[in-house]
Chains A and B, each alone.
Chain A
Amino acid sequence: MAKKPDLLPGTLDMLILKTLARGPLHGYGIAQSIKRLSEDVLTVEEGSLYPALQRLLLAGWLKGEWKMSETNRRARFYTLTRAGRKQLGVEISEFEQMIAAIGRVLAAPEEA
């Protein structure tokens, strides 16, 4: 079975933070949102998602709250904290720096 491309290391946290910057969501919602917005290119595997959420909770960038979902079931909704919002900024700027650097490498003319 062909494997989908992995996320760049470290980018999952950023994507989760970014997704939550638009408003509280539960785990399934976060995965769906990333999938939809990336037009099905990025699939967040559950095996990575929940450990990542625990990590972010532990770092204090997220808060989790049990609420009723749209299907009337209890679900844990994650909200970005103030520290998390700051961290998102840091991660985005770091990511952009890296993309720019990669871009420069790729843009270099090929020499014969």
Chain B
Amino acid sequence: MLSGFLKRLMLFVRRGRFRSDLDEEMAFHRAQAEREFAAQGMKAEEARYAAMRQFGNATRLREKSEEVVGFRVETVFQDVSFALRQLRRNPGFGLMAVLILALGMGVSVAIFGFVDAALIEPLPYAQPNRLVDVTEMAPGWPRSNLSLPDYEDWKRMNTTLSSLEAYGYTGYLLRMGLTTEPVNAGRVSDGFFRTLGVKPILGRNFLPGEDRPGGAKIVILPYGTWQKRFSGRANVIGQSVSLDGNNYTIVGVLPRNFVFAPEGSAEFWVPLLDKNGCDQRRDCHNLFGMGRLRDGVTVGAARADFKRIAAQLEAQYPQSNKGQGAFVQPLAELIVGDVRPILLTLLAGALLLLVIACVNVASLLLVRSESRRREIAVRGALGATRARLVRQLVTEGLLLAGAGCAAGLLIAMWTMMLLTNLVPKPMAEGMPFLSSVGLNAHTGWFAAGVALLAALLLAATPALRLAGTDVDLRNALSEGRHGSAGRFWRRLGSNLVVVELTIAVVLLAGAGLLGKSFYKLLHVEFGFDTTHLVTMDVMARSDHYKTVDQMVALYRQIEQRLQELPGVESAGITTDLPVGCNCDTNWIRIPGKPYNGQHNEVNDRQVSPEYLPALKAKLIRGRMFTENDDASHPQVIVINEALAKKYFPGEDPIGQKIADYKLDSDSIAEIVGVVGNVREGGLEQDIWPAEYEAIYRAKDTYFSVVVRTQGDEKALLPGIVSTIKKIDPEIGIQNEQTMEQQIDSTQAALLHRFATWLVGVFAALALVLGVVGLYGVIAYSVSQRTREIGVRMALGAQRGSVYALVMRQALVLTVVGLGLGLVCSVAASVLMRKMLFGVEAWDLPTLLAVVVVLGAAALAASFLPAHRAASVNPTEALRAE
């Protein structure tokens, strides 16, 4: 066995010698035979021919001998070089096939890269699938924040988690050198990083007990902050940093790859420490929980555990905890739950595109193999066996697949980079997986799988074609009839085209529905004029503005200065900007109405008198706030229409009173106005009841400013920012942008825009490929039927009937493709219902538009060959063969 292999190897290495030996041997053989014939009395010439005839095809004989001893490597080389020659002779075909394949492969691998990073690759923590998101649950609010007292009870009472940590958002005015700027920060319980399994690369973690009130002010830096603000100096540990005028000691630096998506923008991490006003109340929810399951405990068991505790607390604190349940889900769900449907939709779209690309290339190969029938027949007649011919075709298919996949990988890498960079920064902060998108083991395997499938398909198609037609070589050689083989191909080719058209319809319909959803999303009822409006978040030092009077003076000064700016129409102040979230709520109670303790959740905003008019919110009844609605006057309130409808059905709310759920005497306010529903929550969210209180009674140091301008609002932004800064250089300003920018960059808008564009691109590609496929089939069929058409025309067929003949074939294919596609697309749309907004899966106008677009494109594509058919010159067509 081994010696045989070695001999083969020797022969392979010395194959030149082997071949010349064999040639000489055979030449000798022929010479001897020639002598013999001559001896029998033949003329020299005749003898030579007789010998050659007897000997047969020398090349074939040599090949057979080589097959015995060789590795077949040589024939592979031959096949490859022949295939390359073929492709070179027809570069258009090769280029087209490689390009289409590369596109399909590149796009699908790229999208898979995202799916892999987001849904398959676990979070960058120790045993990430044991981490859970733990929060409270309120009516109409499946995942609501957790109050600190509840958290402390939950932590103490649960039996299913090995640890439960809390985290919340906070912001500070960071002072470095002479500049003050607002920064986002995370407030966490001391075990937060230990529970995630994250160890600082410098310094230490928070230690148990370091989050208690009165503890030392310490801070841990994320890697990015360390690099950006401290130039990555190793001696930062022990140094102090000024946050809100307090010195915090840096105790640690987190690893580079650490990111906690819910607080992606946090630049500093501090322990919970001193309880703020909200922390002390069981009914003030400002935190979230994150925990690690004990070994063997399921998420379901943990959920049951927390529901039990929540019920217990509800019994114990019937006022604050009425209806407050518990919500537990895998932490991964919190981070990728929003993008999963989109990613899966995109993956499905990309795979469909891949299928269409493969089908397209396969049918290209088919057409080509059809036009090469004569060549193949000649090679068969010259002694090539069926197996050899098939191998040749398979080699060509593999070569195309190989080139296509190599190019596809390049496209994939480029697409992944492009898409990653397209994600806006605020959104990217919530998507930690983006950093791990790229070529890795998983995407590599996926790419290899796709490549293998493509190779199989491209190799199998021509091989099947050759086997399926049972080539009668002599018949093909004489090119007598196109009949049987043509029909076979026509049927297969037509079926492939129907598949392409069906997929194109599905993708077009998907893109249409997503596009319509996106449009509807951007055109929801806002309840205010979103144009010519700029917004920004403002933060003032709470140690500088300690009293309501000081604070109100600042509010008034800001509004006044801004209104003096040229181009500014009006300026107002609010605690929460619109198109944000249904959050910062209050539990209300209507004095004098029956109340059973339920939490009537309403959006609660403190606003200045100019705020609602600046938005151009519609006043429906009563009045807006005035300058007099401050602490020295009775407390009044403005409500939105939704609140009026829900809590004062069929009544006039003006003059009625609203209080908090405890009916605190200082919370009772008189309703003086009803405004139209201003969209406080996200684009895709329902309108909630809302109440507006006078901010001139409050001392919020963190607030937002809205400015209505006359002209280009973008141009005024810098002036507005510097005007506020001039009032107090230590004021921090963040997120200055136009309202339209804010709307465009909401998560819902971004996700929908992303999905719409990508699926739109897929659909456009699918449309082009499908129509090109249709064109190919019809054009081929016309070229095969030239003679028939010539006969028809010679017998008196009119041009019109020739058009009809060709167009009918195209029409049948298009109609079948459209029909199948519509059925499939309704099914597909039902599957992606989650991503649709304001559109039904069977949206008729969208489907109709798809039919029109595809139908028109298909007819245009078949018109060209039909025109060619109709311009056939009968005499030439008949003479052609």
Chain A positions within 8 Å of B, measured between CB atoms, are 26-28, 31, 45-47, 50-51, 54-55, 57-60, 69, 71, 73-76
Contact in complex: B32, A28 (CB < 8 Å): yes
**Residue of A with least CB distance to B31:** A73
Interface secondary structure of B, over-half rule? helix
Contact in complex: A50, B28 (CB < 8 Å): no
Contact in complex: B64, A71 (CB < 8 Å): no
Chain A residues whose C-beta falls within 8 Å of the C-beta of B277 in the assembled complex: none
Bound complex: CA A26 to CA B22 (Å): 12
Please tell me if B800 contacts chain A, counting CB pairs below 8 Å.
Answer: no
- Taking a contact as CB atoms closer than 8 A, the residue among A57, A58, A74 that contacts B24 in the complex is A74
Chain B residues whose C-beta falls within 8 Å of the C-beta of A69 in the assembled complex: 28
Contact in complex: B25, A75 (CB < 8 Å): yes
Bound complex: CA A69 to CA B33 (Å): 14
Q: Which residues of B (197-256) have their CB < 8 Å from a CB of A?
A: none
Least CB distance, A93 to chain B, in whole angstroms: 24
Bound complex: CA A69 to CA B4 (Å): 29
Contact in complex: A27, B7 (CB < 8 Å): no
Contact in complex: A51, B29 (CB < 8 Å): no
29 contacts between A and B (CB under 8 A): A26-B28, A27-B25, A27-B29, A28-B28, A28-B29, A28-B32, A45-B56, A46-B29, A46-B56, A46-B61, A47-B60, A47-B61, A47-B64, A50-B26, A50-B61, A50-B64, A51-B61, A51-B64, A54-B68, A54-B69, A55-B68, A55-B69, A58-B7, A59-B4, A71-B31, A73-B31, A76-B21, A76-B25, A76-B28
**Residue of B with least CB distance to A66:** B21
Contact in complex: B29, A71 (CB < 8 Å): no
Chain B residues whose C-beta falls within 8 Å of the C-beta of A27 in the assembled complex: 25, 28-29
Least CB distance, A45 to chain B, in whole angstroms: 8
Bound complex: CA A85 to CA B28 (Å): 27
**Residue of B with least CB distance to A53:** B65
Known: A73-B28, A74-B28, A76-B25. A28 touches B60 (CB 8 A): no
Please tell me if B67 contacts chain A, counting CB pairs below 8 Å.
Answer: yes
Chain A residues whose C-beta falls within 8 Å of the C-beta of B64 in the assembled complex: 47, 50-51
Bound complex: CA A76 to CA B33 (Å): 16
Chain A residues whose C-beta falls within 8 Å of the C-beta of B307 in the assembled complex: none
Q: Mark B563-580, 1 if CB is under 8 A from A, else 0.
A: 000000000000000000
Please tell me if B55 contacts chain A, counting CB pairs below 8 Å.
Answer: yes
- How many residue-residue contacts, CB under 8 A, span A and B? 59
Least CB distance, B618 to chain A, in whole angstroms: 95
Least CB distance, A58 to chain B, in whole angstroms: 6
**Residue of A with least CB distance to B62:** A50
Contact in complex: A46, B68 (CB < 8 Å): no
Chain A residues whose C-beta falls within 8 Å of the C-beta of B8 in the assembled complex: 58
Bound complex: CA A59 to CA B67 (Å): 15
Least CB distance, B117 to chain A, in whole angstroms: 54
Chain B residues whose C-beta falls within 8 Å of the C-beta of A71 in the assembled complex: 31-32, 35
Contact in complex: A58, B55 (CB < 8 Å): no
Contact in complex: A58, B32 (CB < 8 Å): no
Least CB distance, A38 to chain B, in whole angstroms: 17
- Taking a contact as CB atoms closer than 8 A, the residue among A45, A47, A50, A55 that contacts B22 in the complex is A50
Known: A47-B60, A71-B35. A60 touches B65 (CB 8 A): no
- Other than the given A26-B28, A50-B61, A75-B25, 13 more pairs (CB < 8 A) read A26-B25, A46-B55, A47-B61, A50-B22, A51-B64, A51-B67, A51-B68, A54-B65, A55-B68, A55-B69, A58-B4, A60-B3, A71-B31
Please tell me if B54 contacts chain A, counting CB pairs below 8 Å.
Answer: yes
Bound complex: CA A54 to CA B55 (Å): 17
Bound complex: CA A50 to CA B68 (Å): 10
Contact in complex: B32, A46 (CB < 8 Å): no
Least CB distance, A33 to chain B, in whole angstroms: 12
Bound complex: CA A45 to CA B29 (Å): 12
Bound complex: CA A26 to CA B27 (Å): 12
Bound complex: CA A28 to CA B54 (Å): 13
Chain B contact patch, size range: 20 to 34
Least CB distance, A25 to chain B, in whole angstroms: 12
Chain A residues whose C-beta falls within 8 Å of the C-beta of B69 in the assembled complex: 54-55, 57-58
Bound complex: CA A18 to CA B264 (Å): 86
Chain A residues whose C-beta falls within 8 Å of the C-beta of B61 in the assembled complex: 46-47, 50-51
Bound complex: CA A36 to CA B68 (Å): 27
Chain B residues whose C-beta falls within 8 Å of the C-beta of A26 in the assembled complex: 25, 28
Bound complex: CA A17 to CA B584 (Å): 99
Bound complex: CA A35 to CA B369 (Å): 45
Bound complex: CA A69 to CA B26 (Å): 14
Chain B residues whose C-beta falls within 8 Å of the C-beta of A50 in the assembled complex: 22, 25-26, 61, 64-65
Chain B residues whose C-beta falls within 8 Å of the C-beta of A59 in the assembled complex: 4
Chain A residues whose C-beta falls within 8 Å of the C-beta of B32 in the assembled complex: 28, 71
Bound complex: CA A78 to CA B562 (Å): 108
Contact in complex: B28, A75 (CB < 8 Å): yes
**Residue of A with least CB distance to B36:** A32
Least CB distance, B71 to chain A, in whole angstroms: 12
Q: Lowest 8 A-B CB distances belong to which pairs?
A: A28-B32, A54-B68, A51-B64, A28-B29, A51-B65, A51-B68, A54-B65, A50-B65
Bound complex: CA A31 to CA B32 (Å): 11
Bound complex: CA A6 to CA B340 (Å): 69
Contact in complex: A58, B68 (CB < 8 Å): yes
Least CB distance, A26 to chain B, in whole angstroms: 7
Chain A residues whose C-beta falls within 8 Å of the C-beta of B28 in the assembled complex: 26-28, 69, 73-76
**Residue of B with least CB distance to A45:** B56
Chain B residues whose C-beta falls within 8 Å of the C-beta of A45 in the assembled complex: 56
Residue picked from A26, A51, A75, most chain B C-beta under 10 Å: A51
Least CB distance, A92 to chain B, in whole angstroms: 23
Bound complex: CA A61 to CA B54 (Å): 28
Least CB distance, A42 to chain B, in whole angstroms: 15
Least CB distance, A47 to chain B, in whole angstroms: 5
Chain A residues whose C-beta falls within 8 Å of the C-beta of B60 in the assembled complex: 47
Bound complex: CA A47 to CA B54 (Å): 10
Chain B residues whose C-beta falls within 8 Å of the C-beta of A28 in the assembled complex: 28-29, 32-33
**Residue of A with least CB distance to B55:** A46
Chain B residues whose C-beta falls within 8 Å of the C-beta of A55 in the assembled complex: 68-69
Chain B residues whose C-beta falls within 8 Å of the C-beta of A73 in the assembled complex: 28, 31
Bound complex: CA A75 to CA B32 (Å): 11
Bound complex: CA A60 to CA B69 (Å): 12
Q: Which residues of B (60-102) have their CB < 8 Å from a CB of A?
A: 60-61, 64-65, 67-69
Bound complex: CA A31 to CA B56 (Å): 15
Chain A residues whose C-beta falls within 8 Å of the C-beta of B25 in the assembled complex: 26-27, 50, 75-76
**Residue of B with least CB distance to A76:** B25
Chain B residues whose C-beta falls within 8 Å of the C-beta of A58 in the assembled complex: 4, 7-8, 68-69
Bound complex: CA A99 to CA B636 (Å): 118
Least CB distance, A67 to chain B, in whole angstroms: 11
Bound complex: CA A58 to CA B24 (Å): 19
Chain A residues whose C-beta falls within 8 Å of the C-beta of B35 in the assembled complex: 71
Chain A residues whose C-beta falls within 8 Å of the C-beta of B33 in the assembled complex: 28
Least CB distance, B381 to chain A, in whole angstroms: 17
Contact in complex: A46, B54 (CB < 8 Å): yes
Chain A residues whose C-beta falls within 8 Å of the C-beta of B24 in the assembled complex: 74, 76
Bound complex: CA A57 to CA B8 (Å): 11
**Residue of A with least CB distance to B69:** A54
Chain A residues whose C-beta falls within 8 Å of the C-beta of B3 in the assembled complex: 60
Least CB distance, B20 to chain A, in whole angstroms: 11
Chain B residues whose C-beta falls within 8 Å of the C-beta of A75 in the assembled complex: 25, 28
**Residue of B with least CB distance to A50:** B65
Contact in complex: B4, A47 (CB < 8 Å): no
Least CB distance, B60 to chain A, in whole angstroms: 7
Least CB distance, A64 to chain B, in whole angstroms: 8
Contact in complex: B4, A46 (CB < 8 Å): no
Chain B residues whose C-beta falls within 8 Å of the C-beta of A31 in the assembled complex: 29
Chain B residues whose C-beta falls within 8 Å of the C-beta of A54 in the assembled complex: 65, 68-69
Chain A residues whose C-beta falls within 8 Å of the C-beta of B31 in the assembled complex: 71, 73
**Residue of A with least CB distance to B29:** A28
